[in-house]
């Protein structure tokens, strides 16, 4: 079994889900007392959040490279970044290390293509929705078109993520807002919805929707296990 390197803490609530899913999947696949060989370096999300909202992406990139190199020195065979937004600097991180980085958008695209979908809605932070690093990768590498909510709805999603979910708060009124936004994306042609922030699955569950939801936390964690035991 390869050793999984995780860069976490963005937020710790979603990193907890990564650790749980990875170990449950290993136990399911291998049985008995098996658990994952893993190393996690958890950043201080306060520092990351400030850099994001101040637009200091160069400093954020340096922070992520430092984290990746720490995980590599710790003995990881490959790395996953336990958040969607910080894949903005995934290419720079990959260039700074000698071990593979498994991209969350690639793992998600694999699941979307398995269902034969061509057009999906993308929910996440404003950075993930509005900047091109995520949608462009889906489009150019996997042939998937990702559409996003309108500006007002993007702000609603962003605010719920940072003001509630990253603080561990789950509110029914926010579930209702997400349902409306997802319905609007479906009306605009989305055949499925990418939950493109690792905190969103804390609020949104597939059983509440007819449209396919792609839980990037679970998909990425299971993708890492497959890579580790293959």
How many Å apart are CA 230 and CA 155, to the nearest integer?
40
Residue linked to tokens 């049985």? 31
Of 25, 61, 83, 198, which residue is the catalytic one? 83
Measured at the CA of 227, the angle between CA 74 and CA 198, to 5 degrees, comes to 80
Q: What are phi and psi of 146, to 5 degrees?
A: -115, 125
Of 25, 125, 128, 197, which residue is the catalytic one? 197
166 labelled catalytic = no
Q: Which residues pair with 194 in a beta bridge?
A: 122, 214
83 labelled catalytic = yes
Contact 19, 95 (CB under 8 A): no
Concatenated DSSP letters of 101-114 = B--HHHHHHHHHHH
Hey, is 202 helix, strand or coil? helix
Hey, is 121 helix, strand or coil? strand
How many Å apart are CA 46 and CA 204, to the nearest integer?
24
How many Å apart are CA 130 and CA 122, to the nearest integer?
10
What's 8's DSSP letter?
E
Can the peptide bond before residue 131 be classed as cis, meaning omega within 30 degrees of 0? no
Q: Which residues are catalytic?
A: 83, 197
């Amino acid at each position: 079994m390869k050793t999984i390197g995780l860069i976490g803490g963005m937020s710790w609530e979603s990193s907890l889900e990564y650790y749980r899913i990875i170990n449950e999947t290993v136990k399911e696949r291998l049985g008995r007392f098996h658990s994952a060989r893993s190393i996690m370096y958890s950043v201080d999300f306060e520092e990351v959040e400030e850099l994001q909202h101040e637009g200091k992406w160069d400093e954020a990139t340096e922070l992520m490279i430092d984290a990746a190199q720490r995980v590599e020195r710790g003995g990881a065979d490959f790395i996953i970044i336990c958040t969607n937004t910080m894949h903005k600097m995934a290419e720079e991180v990959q260039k700074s290390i000698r071990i593979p980085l498994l991209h969350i958008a690639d793992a998600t695209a694999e699941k979307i293509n398995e269902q034969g979908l061509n057009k999906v809605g993308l929910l996440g932070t404003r950075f993930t929705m509005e900047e091109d690093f995520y949608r462009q990768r889906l489009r150019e590498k996997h042939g998937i078109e990702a559409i996003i909510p309108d500006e007002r709805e993007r702000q609603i999603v962003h605010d719920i993520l940072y003001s509630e979910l990253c603080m561990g708060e789950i509110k029914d009124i926010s579930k209702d807002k997400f349902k409306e936004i997802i319905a609007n994306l479906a009306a605009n042609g989305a055949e499925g919805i990418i939950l493109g922030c690792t905190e969103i699955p804390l609020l949104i569950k597939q059983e509440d929707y007819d449209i396919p939801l792609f839980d990037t936390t679970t998909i990425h964690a299971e993708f890492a296990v497959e890579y580790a035991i293959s």
